[in-house]
Every structure is written in structure tokens, then in C-alpha cells.
Chain A
Amino acid sequence: MAAEIYLNVAVSGLLTGLVYGLMAAGLSVIFGVVRVVNFAHGEMMTVAMYLAIVLFNSFGLDPLVMAVPIAGVLFALGYAMQAGLINPFITRPEYSQFMLLIAVALIIVNVLLLVFGPDARNVQTSYAFDSFLLGPLIIDATKVYAGAATLVITAALFVFFQGAPLGKAIRACADNYTGALVVGLNVKRLYALTFGIGAACVGAAGSMLVLLVDVTPSLGPALTLLAFIIVITGGLGSMAGAVLGGLLIGFTEAMAGLFFTPSAKSMFSFGLLVLVLLFRPQGILGKRMS
């Protein structure tokens, strides 16, 4: 097999992994601060994907351009979910939080099924079939655009959490809940903001992922599982870890498909997960829990 095939597949896997990483970053941010595991993460992503499809089909709005407005809508949804639904569960046992979010996930899947039906849907942009020729490399143009947009959004999130006062306040909540209360931070509002930011990541990732894969209501649980694999591999609570995890999973699945059999791709991502759990349980960039 020619060398360019390996490069082609590696680049394709990394670009897909970037979008996966942004999706998983949302899950990681929410868990890192609110300490709630969002079992409706993939389902929220499908909501964003359907929003992108409706906007494209009704108004011809490109999902890449609509990534920010869709992120805004998902932010509002996430904020409302945390403020109105999840905050009362913060002090309850974890299993009741799990059940609540699994219920939300089931409701989302069934509402989408009622509204959009079971058929796979996609957007056909003018560049849907374009590819770039770089010497012997053929790179899917859509993946390049989606990957680049992911990098920009991820960089903006890093800047927000490191430099903005609100970002620092959110990090303070994550580092020391009691300390944050003592210095007068409105922790419940910050939790809602954090959940909103996590959901916004999902919104942006969803509007890009719809360019790469067809969406059905039943895609949600698969995406939730994928997000879990990525954040556990990268390190639960670490944004950089989520992006790294996404890249690793995207790359691993692509290369496994090439070297072994494509039907066993998922086996290799789960294999990677098992290795990480065995040798670095906190994830590659995760902090060891005290």
C-alpha cells in the first residue's frame, strides 16, 4: 500500500478527532466544575445538528456560519437546564442525577423522532464534495473547515477560562467549592453558566459535525458514549485533555480501520480506553483525585 494512504487516513482521522474533541470538551467542562455527568450530552448534540439542518434547509444558512448562533441557543438551553432542573439535584446522590439526565436524553430522542422522523438527514453544502490536493494527499475540504473552526472555538474557550474574570470565577468554583462560597461567588449561577458553556461547545460541535455525518435521533446515545470514551481517555475535567482525547480516538479509529478491519474500529478505541484506565486512571491530562 502506498505511503500517501497512511497520511491521508491519519489526517482525516485527526480532523474528525478535532470535532469530537470539541464535543467532549463540553462534557469535560461541565463535569470539571459542576461535578455532574451529562448523560444527555450526545442527545444535545443531535439537537444542535437538527437545528443546523433546519436553518440550512429553510434559509440556506451554512452550518459553519451558524456555529456561533447555534452555540448561543444551546447555551440558553444548557443554562435553563442547570438552573431549573439540575441545581436541585446537586446535593442529591449521584444516581439520582444520572437518572435525571438519562430521562432528559430519552425525552430528547423521542421528541426528535416525533418531529423529524427516523430518516437520516444531512446538509448538502456547495463544498460538500470538495477536497484539497496537497501533493499526493487528498484532504476532505469539509473536514478541514470543521477542524479549523474547532481550533478557533477551542482557543477562544482557553482564553476565556484563563483570562476572563468570569472564567477565573468558574475555575475557582471548580477548584474549591467552599472557598468560592466564602469569597461571595454566586455558585449556583456560575454552575448554570458553566453548563451553558458546555452546552454551547456541543452546539458548535454539532453544527460542524452535521457537515461530516448524517444525523438520526438515535445518533445521540452513540455520541454520548463517544464523548465519555474521549474525556475518560483525555482526563475527566480537563479541556485540553478532551481535545487530546478526541484527536487520539479519531486517529486510532482511522488507523485501526486501515491496518486491521474497518468493522473493528470501535474495538481499538475501547482498547485505548482500557489501557488508559489501567495505567493512568485519571486520564492522560487529568488530575489525580485526592
Chain B
Amino acid sequence: MRRTPQTNYLRLTRRSFAAGAGAAALLATGTGLDFARAQGGPLKVGVLLPRSGAQAGIGQDCQRGVEIAPPIFKALGLPELAIMNADTETNVEVARARAEKLINDGAQLLVGAFDSGQTTAIAQVAEQKGIPLVINIAAAPPITEQGYKFVFRNFPTAPMILSDAFANQKEVFDATGAAPKSVVFMHVNDTFGTAMQQGISAVLPRFNMPYKIVEQIAYDATSRDLSVEVAKAKATGAEALLMVSRLNDAILITRELVKHRWSPMIVLSMGPGWYEDQYLKTLGKLSDGPMSFVPWYDPNKKLAQQLEAALANSYPGINMNTNHVFTFEALLVAADSYKRARSTEAKALADAIRATNITDNVSIGLGIQFNEKGQNDKLKNAAIQNRGGKLLTVAPKGASNAKPELPMQPYDRRG
């Protein structure tokens, strides 16, 4: 039977009335809105990274972890994420402003921001606006000690990194039968470096290490010239270097070590810089030898292998590292919680993140779970050594794929 449009428009049946009333009731209670949101498309995730400034190289490295995520998430049956990129310019105030702008522009969850100082500022904004923040990399303990309800960190705190680092160092010393008796401790004077310096001073006595710190040298991470710092370190006569640095300063220090004709027995790095791809590429053979004690990936985990393959496919010649792993995992937390929350509503997302239990993950440890403070305290770290332009895991034994080499080859005997 043919109906005229007018007839169709005016016709009100019991069925259509009931459907309309039900929809109105759903909208009135808000449930319908959430449902509509969940069905309405990808979760808008603001990714804050230092893409320019002193930490630009590392920020862009983290971005690779973002780029390789979508096909893996699709294979895992996780929902799509709409990434909104923002540049903190390696500046705390810019980080704060960019976080506010992302939220104003509609970001429903934030991820970032590699640096503790910048992350602290972003966390304040996220908490104030009630938008969940999943921290990819930032180790300063206070961030998850503020009682924040919307801030979650899947990265070890400085004390966690240090405890594992000293345990792994002992394992390396035992395995090689060699250990330095004295070290110079050089560290950047930013939020991360200062937190690590305080942590090392507090934790070291408990570990009965074979070496003593004969001098502590703090320096500016944006310094153009570190010749004085290295000259001062060399003058102490220490056997090894204990480092908490960033990328550019790690390169500068290595150059100065060569120029000052000083080959320490080993460089023990407790932070980023020394394992970064740019470090390996810039210095070539001179990049071999340093050991980094860092949050890392478990090469035996299935998802780690998938991620490594995806990185090799998209960025041939680039070694997978902390930046890729933890930025990827932050997005994994976001996608997993969105799937479970079935909503973009901030509180529902935060509740879902709090209930996260991902055992099939990438990093070393039992998986991703958050305690009442929003901290994943199940993470473990590794010792990795640069050898032949590759990063080999030398400790802990359960997650290693090579034996440590100590002392490292002197710089003047590398051809």
C-alpha cells in the first residue's frame, strides 16, 4: 500500500510512541548519551610529547610508539583511537598550556609526556579538568603521591628504577668478575635528574655496592659545552661513570671523554640518552660499551615480539627501546579501558583504567595493573649494553639475550 509522506509523518503508533519514550528516558538519565558516545567513534587521545627543544629527539622517538600502535590494536580487537598530537617544546609551561588546549579541543584522555617536570604540570591540569592522564614516561615519585584520581602511571618511579638498577649491576659484576671501586656521579639538574640524585643517595647504602661515589657533578641538560664537567670528573681518578642524563648531553659527554683521552671502565647509565638510536647513529663505534639500567621490554613476551616486528617494518634500522615500549603501552591502557568502559565519559574511563589487568603486555614484569595511587608497581627493569649498534639485554637473567662485557673497550682502541 502506498502512503503519502504527510500520512506517514502524522501517523503515531503505540510501537513508535514506546520507542520514542524509551529514547527520551535514556537521554534524560544520561545512559543513552554514554551509549551513543561509545558507539560514536574513536576515543580522542591527546598525546603530549617534547617534539622540539632539548628533548626533541626523544619526543620523536616516543612518537614512533604511537605510529605503530593502530594495526596491533586492531589485531587485538581494541577500539580505534583518534590521536591529537601536541608539542610541549621541552618546556613545563608550554606543556601545561598544551594540555589545557587539548582538553578544550575535545581530548577525552591524555597521554604523555616523557619528562617528569612537564608531566607534573600536565597531571595538575588533567586532575583539575577531570580528564584521565596515562603517563608514558616520567619517574619522579611525587606525581602519583598527590592523591590524584585521574592520573595513572605505567612507568617505574625513580626508587623502583634505582632498586632494580643496583640489583642488576650486582648481577653484571658477578657475571663478569669485574667491578669498579669508585665512580663519579654525573647528573642533569632537571626534575628527573634531581629526583634520581636524591634517590641514589638514599638507596645506595642499602645495596652494599662494590664502588663508592667519589664526586657528584650536576649539570644543565641544555648545556652547550660539557668539557669542564668531564675534566672535573676525570680529575677525580674514578674508575667508572654513573650517569643520569638525557640524549644530547650523553652525546656531548662521550665526545668529551674521547677528547680528554679518558676511557672509564664502564659507563653505568640510570636513565635515557645512552641507548637512544640517535646516540648510536651519531657516535658509531664510540657508542659501544655503556650499560643502561632502564625500564625495558621482555623479548620473550608475544606482544613485545609483535611490537618489535611492527617497528622494524615501519622504521627499519631502529632498535626498539623504552620510548617506544612505554608510549605504546600507555595507548594500550587507553584503548583497553575505553573498550571496557564503553564510554568516553571521564569518570567511567578513569574507573576502567583503575581496574586494568593486562598480562599480555610488552614491558618486563607481571603486567599492567594500577594500585590505589594510580601507579603500576609490578614493573621490572633491565640492564642493556650497546654493542655493535645493537641493544643487548644483559640482565636480569630471565629476560636477557646476551652476556655482559666489562670493562668496555677503551675509546682509543676502536679503530
Chain A, 172-215, CB within 8 A of any chain B CB: 212-214
| CA of A212 to CA of B53, assembled, Å | 19
Q: Complex formed: what's the CA distance from A263 to B234 in Å?
A: 17
CA distance A263 to B286 in the complex (A): 26
Q: When chains A and B are docked, how far (Å) is the Cα of A124 from the Cα of B284?
A: 11
Query: Is there a chain B Cβ closer than 8 Å to A218's Cβ?
Result: yes
| A9 adjacent to chain B (CB < 8 Å) | yes
Is the Cβ of A263 less than 8 Å from the Cβ of B189?
yes
Q: Are A254 and B53 in contact (CB under 8 A)?
A: no
Stretch of B101-109, B213-221, B316-324, B379-387 at the chain-chain interface: B213-221
| Cβ–Cβ < 8 Å partners of A13 in chain B | 228
The bracket for how many chain B residues form the interface is 35 or more
Report whether B228 and A213 are in contact in the complex, using a CB–CB cutoff of 8 Å: no
User: Quick check: B261 and A131 within 8 Å, CB to CB?
Assistant: yes
Asked whether A233 is an interface residue with its Cβ less than 8 Å from the other chain, the reply is no
CA of A202 to CA of B51, assembled, Å: 28
A119 touches B232 (CB 8 A): no
Assembly CA distance A129 to B224 (angstroms)? 16
Q: A118-B56, A140-B259, A257-B232 are in contact. Are A212 and B218 (CB under 8 A)?
A: no
Query: A65 at interface (Cβ–Cβ under 8 A)?
Result: no
Whether the pair B219, A263 counts as a contact (CB closer than 8 A) is yes
Cβ of B357 within 8 Å of any chain A Cβ, yes or no, is no
**A262 in contact with B260 given A13-B228, A120-B57, A214-B251 (CB within 8 Å):** no
Asked if B228 and A119 sit within 8 Å, CB to CB, the answer is no
CB nearest neighbor in B for A219: B224
**Given A113-B52, A258-B232: A138 and B248 within 8 A (CB)?**
no
Verify B227–A261 contact, CB threshold 8 A.
Answer: no
Chain A residues with Cβ below 8 Å from B60 are 118-119
A2 touches B (CB below 8 Å): yes
**When A119-B56, A129-B258, A140-B259 are in contact, do A214 and B248 touch as well, CB less than 8 Å?**
yes
Cβ proximity bits A2-38 to B, threshold 8 Å, 1 near / 0 not: 1001001100110010000000000000000000000
The closest CB in chain B to the CB of A130 belongs to B259
Q: Measuring CB to CB, which residues of chain A are less than 8 angstroms from any residue of chain B? A: 1-2, 5, 8-9, 12-13, 16, 113, 117-120, 122, 124, 128-131, 138, 140, 212-214, 216-219, 222, 253-254, 257-258, 261-263, 265-266
Question: What are 17 A-B pairs with beta-carbon distances under 8 A?
Answer: A5-B232, A8-B231, A9-B228, A9-B232, A118-B56, A128-B255, A129-B258, A131-B261, A138-B261, A213-B224, A214-B248, A218-B53, A258-B228, A261-B218, A262-B219, A262-B228, A265-B223
Leading 6 A-B pairs by shortest Cβ distance: A118-B56, A118-B52, A257-B228, A213-B224, A5-B235, A263-B189
Contacts A262-B219, A263-B189 given; 5 further ones with Cβ under 8 A?
A: A13-B228, A118-B51, A140-B259, A262-B229, A265-B220
